[in-house]
Amino acid sequence: MDKDAIADLIEAKHSELITWLENQPDDSWTLGPEGKWTTGQQALHLLQSIVPLNNALSMPKFLLRLKFGKANRPVRPYDAIVKRYQERLADAKGKTFKGSQNMKIPKLEDKQYFLNRLQTEAKKIQYKTRRISDVNLDTVVLPHPLMGKMPVREIIMWTAHHVEHHTDILKANY
């Protein structure tokens, strides 16, 4: 998948999520189905996953190579990343990334702030995706808590899928 297609996918998935969240009743922001995250917690979780990626992409690429190494395999296509993520999720049996465990419920008065932040972070990653070289997209790797080290191109594609995954969960639960 080329850079523009990935950036466009990020835009589409975030736009769908934000529109959906904006149209939900306020009580779903703080109250959710038994044992499930509220819509506010889902938004917080997605912010917790995209902010570190944007921060990493702001670093000099040589530092990322120094810290995490270089890709030792070709970049997988989008569908293969999605399939692998679904397999890893099934193996994890509901285990959650440590930053999202025992997550606080965001306050209703912070809803617009969270939606604005999600939109801003999505725009940042789109911009960075379009600006980074293809060589760096395919050779610089970043760690993912469930998937292991992934080339930047893959982790950005995964980010688009991750938003879709949580949008689907929200639609199913609410």
Task: List beta partners, residue 143.
Answer: 149
Say if 30 falls within a structural domain: no
Examine the pLDDT at 151 and tell me if it is beyond 70.
yes
Say if 80 falls within a structural domain: yes
Torsion sign across C-alpha atoms 16, 18, 12, 80:
negative
Average predicted confidence (pLDDT) for the chain: 94
- Indicate the range of 2-11, 31-40, 61-70, 140-149 predicted with least confidence: 31-40
Residue 120's CATH number? 1.20.120
CA angle 160, 144, 93 (to 5 degrees): 90
Say if 31 falls within a structural domain: no
Residue 140: which domain range?
3-24+37-173
pTM score: 0.94
The answer to whether 10 touches 159, Cβ cutoff 8 Å, is: yes
Say if 52 falls within a structural domain: yes
**The predicted structure's pLDDT at residue 87:** 93
Task: List beta partners, residue 149.
Answer: 143
Say if 85 falls within a structural domain: yes
Total tally of structural domains belonging to the chain: 1
- Name the helix (H) or strand (E) containing 141: strand 141-144
**In whole angstroms, what is the distance from residue 94 CA to residue 155 CA?**
21
Examine the pLDDT at 94 and tell me if it is beyond 90.
no
Residue identified by tokens 């529109």 is 19
CA angle 94, 174, 25 (to 5 degrees): 130
Say if 32 falls within a structural domain: no
Say if 151 falls within a structural domain: yes
Say if 91 falls within a structural domain: yes
With 0-12 / 13-18 / 19 or more C-beta atoms within 10 angstroms meaning exposed / middle / buried, residue 25 is: exposed
